[in-house]
Amino acid sequence: MEEKRVICASCDIACSVVAQVEEGRVVKVRSSRNPLFRDNICMKGIYAPKGFAHPNRILEPLKRVGERGSGEWQIVSWETAMADIGERLRGIIERHGPEAWAVSTSQWNTSTDYGLGRRVMNLAGSPNWISGVSLCAGNTAAVNRMTYGWFPWPDYTQTNCIVLFGHNPRRHSWTPIYNNIRRAQKRGAKLIVLDPRRSENAELADLWLPLKAGTDAAMCLGWLNVILEEGLHDEDFAARWTHGFEAFRERIREYPVERVAKITGVDAELIRKAARTYATNGPSVIPWTPITDQQRNSTSAIRLHCALRALCGYLDVPGGETLQGFNPNIVPESAIELHGALSGAQRAKQLGADHHPAFTYRGTAALKEPTRRVWGHEYANLITGSYMAVPPAVFQAMAHADPYPVKAFFVLGNNALMSYANMHLIHKAIMNQELVVVHEQFMTPTAQLADYILPGDAWTERPWLHDAWGWMAQVRPSEQAMQPPGECRSTFEFWRLVAIQLGLQEQFPWASIEEFHNYRLKATGLTFEEFAARYDVYFAGTEKFKKYEKTGFATPTGKVELHSTILEDLGFNPLPYYREEPPPNAEFPLALFTGVREQEYFQTGHRHIPELRRRKPEPEMYLSAATAQRWGVEQDEWVAVRSKTGSVKLRANIRDDMPENLIRVPHGWWKPEMPQGVGKLSGAWDYADAQVCPDDEDFLDREQGIPHLKGIPCRIDKLAA
C-alpha cells in the first residue's frame, strides 16, 4: 500500500490528510500524523473515496441532444465538445460582446482553478464572473480590505477570547476551526456565542446572547457603544491609526444599549457584559463568520467587526487578528488573474456594479494604489472575493437581457441553480441561454440544464497547491494519489482548452498542471515534486506583527477607515448603520434562516453516498414546540415553508434549541435518485431553499447586493396527504 499526502476538498476548509492507495485507487483517507493537522478529518473526508467511485459519477463529456433539460445526452470526446463550445462562445462574443459570457464558480474553485478562469475571462474581455464566495468569506474579505486593506486571520494559539457571531463549527463541520476553538478553550480562553438558537457552541460558551436573526450589525453597534462610552478602547491606536474616529463615535452614540436590546431581543446587561469581556479580556478574536455574509446589513456588520478589532487594539498583534499579506515566494492567484488586462470599458460593464459596487471593480478601484504600496501587488483577490460581478444582476441580464444580454453561462464546481437567491429567476436565466457549460462530477440540477457537461476530476486525482485562499502566508502541497477515472479532467485542463479556443495560448503557456505549479513556485528554487517531498506546510518568512507601523494600512488614507472614503465616494453612507427589519407581516408572521449545515454533507453535495445519506435521509426544518403547537405541526410531519418567492417541502423536527417563531430551513437539498430534467430536477423544485430566498432590493445588502438569508418572513402551510 502506498500513501500520499493530500488536501481534502470535500468541503472548503482544506484539511491536510493522507490517502491510502492500492492498485492505483484510493481506498481510504485517514488523518495526517503531522501534529498541526492530526485531529482534522471528518466523515465527509473519510467517505470521499466512496463518493468518487460511485456509479453516479460522470465519467465522459455529455452533449445535450434533446430540448434543454430533456435529459437526452450523447457521449462525445473532449476534443469534439471543446471545438463546438469554442465556436459557439466565439459567436456569442462576436454578436453580443465578451460581457455576454458569464461564469459561476464556487469555493472549490478558489482552491482548484488558481485564478486561471479569471485570467482567461480578463483576456477575453468579460468582467462577469460570480461565485458562492459572494455569500461566503469572499465578500467579507473584500469589505475588510475596504476598511483596513487586508483580511485578518485569528491567532487561535494565543487568544484569550473568541466571539462567534452565529458561526458554529462542529466535530464534522469545519473540523479544523472546531479544533482550534476547543484547544483555545482548554487553555482558558473565553467563548462568547451570539446565536438565536442554543447551538452546540452556545452550549459550550461562557456567554450566550440569543439575538434575533438578522440583527448582528445592531449588536455590534451596541457593543461599540459600551466600549466607547466606558473608554475601554485603545485610545492611542484610535488617534494614530484610524480615519473618522469622531464621526464614527457620533454614529455609535445613536445606538445606546437599550435601543440595541430592543432590536436584538437580548437583555441590556448581557450585552454590556459581553462587550466588556471582549474589550477587557483580550486579545480577543472575531473569527470570520458566514452568518454576517448573508444579511441585508452585511456590509455594516462586517465593517463593525473590523472596527471592534481595530479599536480594541487586536489588529495584527499576538493573540489577535493577523494581517499576513502575500507569500513572497509563490506567484499569487491575484497576479495570475491578470485583472490589469481587462480594459476600463469592459470593467465598466460589470453587472451590478452601478447599484451594489462593494466587491466589484468599481468598488475596489481606490484600493489599487494602496494595495501596491503596502502589499506589493495592485490586485489582492483574497478568497477570490474582490472584482466580482453581483449575482442577482447577472441572473437578471441572463433572463431578461437587462441592461444587456448574457447568452453564455459556464458553471464550474458549483450548483448555481440552487446556490444563490431566487431559484425561479436563476432557472429562467439558465433556460434563456444559448450556451450552458457545466464542469461537474455529478448530474446536479444545474448540470441537468446544460448543453455540455464536462467530467471533473476530484481532489485525490490531481496535484494541487493550496495557498490558504491568499488569506494566510502559507502554502501546502497536495500530491496526486491516483489517475482520474474515465475522461475526467481538471479545471486547469478545462481553462487551458478554453484559452486555446479563444486564441489565448500565448498567455496560457503551461502545457500541464505540474508546469504551472513549477511556475508558481519558481522563487523557492524547487519544482512541485521537490516542494511536495519537502513540506507539509510552507510558511513565508514575513514579519509577523504590526506591519502597518512601517507601511500604513492599504487604504486610501493609509489608516483604518472607520469612516470609509471608498463608500463615501461611491455614494453610500460612509459610517456603519442598522437598517431595521420590515415590520411583521400578517401573511408571513414567522422568520426563517437557511443554515445549520448538515454534518453529513457539504452544501448541495454528497446526498448520493449511502453511508452518509442513511444518517440524514430527509431535509428537516427545525422549530420550537410552542411554534409547532401554534401552527398545528406534528413531529415528522411534512409541511411546506413558504415565503413571498416560493415554498419548500420539509419534514418537521421539533427541537428545544429553537426560539419561538424562527424556522431553520436546510440549505441545498435535492435527491440524486429522483427523476431528472426540467420540471423535476431531482427534487430541487421540492426542497431547494433558494426558492424561498428573495432577491429584491429590500432583501439585498445595499452596498454589496448579496441576499439576506437570516430572517426571511415566512409561514407554514399544511400539505395535502
Ligand X SMILES: Nc1nc2c(c(=O)[nH]1)N[C@H]1C(S)=C(S)[C@@H](COP(=O)(O)OP(=O)(O)OC[C@H]3O[C@@H](n4cnc5c(=O)[nH]c(N)nc54)[C@H](O)[C@@H]3O)O[C@H]1N2
Among 19, 26, 42, 498, the residue binding ligand SF4 under the rule CB under 6 A is: 42
Site track 238-277 with ligand X (rule: CB under 6 A), x = hit: ----------------------------------------
Q: How far apart are CA 680 and CA 361, in angstroms?
A: 38
Among residues 11 and 266, whose Cβ is nearest to ligand SF4?
11
Residue 442: name its binding partner from Mo ion, ligand SF4, ligand X, none (Cβ under 5 to 8 Å by kind): ligand X
Phi, psi of 564 (to 5 degrees): -85, 115
* Angle ∠(118,123,124) on CA atoms, nearest 5: 95
Across the beta sheet with 538-539, the strand order is 464-466, 474-478, 538-539
Site track 287-326 with Mo ion (rule: CB under 5 A), x = hit: ---x------------------------------------
What's the closest the beta carbon of residue 404 comes to ligand X, in angstroms?
25
Among residues 531 and 601, whose Cβ is nearest to ligand SF4?
601
Among 413, 445, 477, 694, the residue binding ligand X under the rule CB under 6 A is: 413
Among residues 63 and 182, whose Cβ is nearest to ligand SF4?
182
Piece of the chain touching ligand X by CB under 6 A; list 171-179, 317-325, 380-388, 547-555: 171-179
Contact 299, 564 (CB under 8 A): no
298 sits near ligand X (criterion: CB under 6 A) = no
Task: Name the strand (E) or helix (H) holding 466.
Answer: strand 464-466
* CA nearest neighbour of 711 among 525, 547, 579, 522: 579
Q: How far apart are CA 215 and CA 420, in angstroms?
A: 21
Q: What is the pairing mode between strands 538-539 and 474-478?
A: antiparallel
133 sits near Mo ion (criterion: CB under 5 A) = no
Piece of the chain touching ligand X by CB under 6 A; list 115-123, 434-442, 470-478, 521-529: 434-442
260 sits near ligand SF4 (criterion: CB under 6 A) = no
Contact 235, 204 (CB under 8 A): no
Among residues 294 and 432, whose Cβ is nearest to ligand X?
294
Q: Which residue, chain included where needed, has cell 472546531?
A: 178
Among residues 109 and 334, whose Cβ is nearest to ligand X?
109
Residues 173-212 that bind ligand SF4 (CB under 6 A): 174-175
18 sits near ligand SF4 (criterion: CB under 6 A) = no
Q: How far apart are CA 315 and CA 548, in angstroms?
A: 10
Cell of 649: 417541502
Among 4, 12, 150, 326, the residue binding ligand X under the rule CB under 6 A is: 12
| Count of CB atoms situated within 10 Å of the CB of 376 | 13
What's the closest the beta carbon of residue 44 comes to ligand SF4, in angstroms?
4
Residues with Cβ within 8 Å of 525's Cβ and at least 6 positions away in sequence, in order, are none
590 sits near ligand X (criterion: CB under 6 A) = no
453 sits near Mo ion (criterion: CB under 5 A) = no
Piece of the chain touching ligand SF4 by CB under 6 A; list 5-13, 66-74, 434-442, 525-533: 5-13
Q: What is the dihedral of CA 303, 309, 315, 317, to 10 degrees?
A: -160
Cell of 146: 475596504
Q: Which of 12, 113, 467, 701 is catalytic?
A: 12
Task: Tell me the number of residues near ligand X by CB under 6 A.
Answer: 64
Q: How far apart are CA 567 and CA 358, in angstroms?
A: 8
3-state SS class at 649 = strand
**Residues 136-173, buried b or exposed e (16+ Cβ, 10 A)?**
bbbbbbbbbbbbbbbbbbbbbeebbbbbbbbbbbbebb
291 sits near ligand X (criterion: CB under 6 A) = yes
What's the closest the beta carbon of residue 137 comes to ligand X, in angstroms?
7
Among 159, 710, 713, 716, the residue binding ligand X under the rule CB under 6 A is: 710
14 sits near ligand SF4 (criterion: CB under 6 A) = yes
Residues with Cβ within 8 Å of 378's Cβ and at least 6 positions away in sequence, in order, are 339, 340, 368, 369, 371, 372
Q: What is the dihedral of CA 503, 509, 512, 517, to 10 degrees?
A: -140
What's the closest the beta carbon of residue 119 comes to ligand SF4, in angstroms?
26
Piece of the chain touching ligand SF4 by CB under 6 A; list 42-50, 75-83, 198-206, 482-490: 42-50
Residues 271-290 that bind Mo ion (CB under 5 A): 290
691 sits near ligand X (criterion: CB under 6 A) = no
3-state SS class at 30 = strand
Cell of 550: 512601517
Q: How far apart are CA 50 and CA 69, in angstroms?
A: 28
636 is catalytic: no
Residue 639: name its binding partner from ligand X, ligand SF4, Mo ion, none (Cβ under 5 to 8 Å by kind): none
What's the closest the beta carbon of residue 684 comes to ligand X, in angstroms?
11
596 sits near ligand X (criterion: CB under 6 A) = yes
Residues 157-176 that bind ligand SF4 (CB under 6 A): 174-175
Among 4, 5, 15, 52, the residue binding ligand SF4 under the rule CB under 6 A is: 15
Q: How far apart are CA 456 and CA 132, in angstroms?
A: 18
Q: How far apart are CA 332 and CA 375, in angstroms?
A: 12
41 sits near ligand SF4 (criterion: CB under 6 A) = yes
Contact 710, 593 (CB under 8 A): yes
Amino acid at 494: F
Among 48, 136, 353, 394, the residue binding Mo ion under the rule CB under 5 A is: 136
What distances in angstroms separate CA 432 from CA 225, 259, 396, 427, one per listed residue? 50, 47, 11, 9
Among residues 202 and 312, whose Cβ is nearest to ligand X?
202
Piece of the chain touching ligand X by CB under 6 A; list 165-173, 380-388, 424-432, 571-579: 165-173
Give me the helices (H) in 452-552, please. Answer: 491-501, 513-521, 528-534, 548-551
Q: How far apart are CA 49 and CA 20, in angstroms?
A: 10
Among 32, 139, 140, 173, the residue binding ligand X under the rule CB under 6 A is: 173
440 sits near ligand X (criterion: CB under 6 A) = yes
138 sits near ligand X (criterion: CB under 6 A) = no
Task: Name the strand (E) or helix (H) holding 687.
Answer: helix 684-687
Residues contributing to the site for ligand X (CB under 6 A): 11-12, 106-108, 112, 132, 135-136, 165-169, 172-174, 194-197, 199, 211, 213-214, 216, 289-291, 412-415, 419-421, 439-442, 444, 456, 458-459, 593-599, 601-605, 667-668, 689-690, 693, 709-711
Residues contributing to the site for Mo ion (CB under 5 A): 136, 290
Catalytic residues: 12
